[in-house]
Amino acid sequence: MTEPVDPRENRLLASLPDAEWLRWQPQLELCEMPLGKVLYESGAPLHYVHFPTNAIVSLLYVLENGSSAEIAVVGHEGVVGVAIFMGGGSTPSRAVVQSAGMGYRLRADAIKLEFERSGPVMHLMLRYTQALITQMSQTAVCNRHHTLDQQLCRWLLLSLDRLPGNELVMTQELISNMLGVRREGVTEAAHKLQEIGLIRYARGHISVLDRPGLERRTCECYAVVKREYDRLLPDRVAV
């Protein structure tokens, strides 16, 4: 049996005003998000939006030759499937569970109806989408101009912000796929961070030992993204 999880562990659901929350509550479906589960494929119609509670979902752009790179991560702060309420209905990216956990989903027609009310839900989702676009833009800049060492620190910090603890279950192969780089490069960067005492890596588990040290070592991209999420997503939406 799946253990129930409070839907309002998701920051967007927790930010709904009371009237909207009461209307949404019976429509939310608890769903498992096992590692590697594909929530939607590139170009395919989206039937649900997903609100992770303690899982992390990677949005990946996949090339024709099968190689991929992460363009954003979504956790308890957000929603997967913004194309539904933005009017696209599909997207060229793929959404894959990066860290296993739970979440809730809402049917596409239900979220579109809420969006069309032009009330607090629409404003909340638009602010979230702006924050997500900032993350995507900053990821592109980071991957072009900053070192792999800095990119790995940024990626670890963004993932930690979306998990309750300080440990990630991640293989180097998975990280290399997310960052769009060779596995050997990730191995070298991870060993460097371990040697200076910032992380401990063993058998697919990464424990962060010194978060302030990671924040000092990363580039400005992490702080830009975090500030934008904090600015745009208050704990509660004004009723």
Instruction: Give the Cα-Cα-Cα angle 29, 75, 5 (nearest 5 degrees).
Output: 40
What is this structure's pTM?
0.88
Tens place of pLDDT for every residue, the chain, 239 residues? 456 789 999 999 999 999 999 999 999 999 999 988 999 998 899 999 999 999 999 999 888 787 778 899 999 999 999 999 998 888 888 999 988 899 999 999 999 999 888 889 999 999 999 999 999 999 988 888 988 889 889 989 998 898 877 888 777 777 777 777 777 887 888 889 899 999 898 877 888 999 999 999 999 999 999 999 999 987 644 33
Instruction: Give the Cα-Cα-Cα angle 136, 116, 114 (nearest 5 degrees).
Output: 80
pLDDT of residue 133: 95
Distance between CA atoms of residues 47 and 236, nearest Å: 27
pLDDT of residue 239: 34
Q: Which pair of tokens denotes residue 140? A: 């592109």
Are 120 and 221 within 8 A, CB to CB?
A: no
Q: Which pair of tokens denotes residue 30? A: 């608890």
3-state secondary structure of 120: helix
Residues linked to residue 95 through DSSP beta bridges, in sequence order = 40, 59
pLDDT of residue 77: 94
Q: What are phi and psi of 127, to 5 degrees?
A: -65, -40
Domains of the chain listed by start with CATH number: 7-117 (2.60.120.10), 143-225 (1.10.10.10)
For residue 7, the surrounding DSSP H or E stretch is: none
Distance between CA atoms of residues 109 and 48, nearest Å: 8
For residue 51, the surrounding DSSP H or E stretch is: strand 48-52
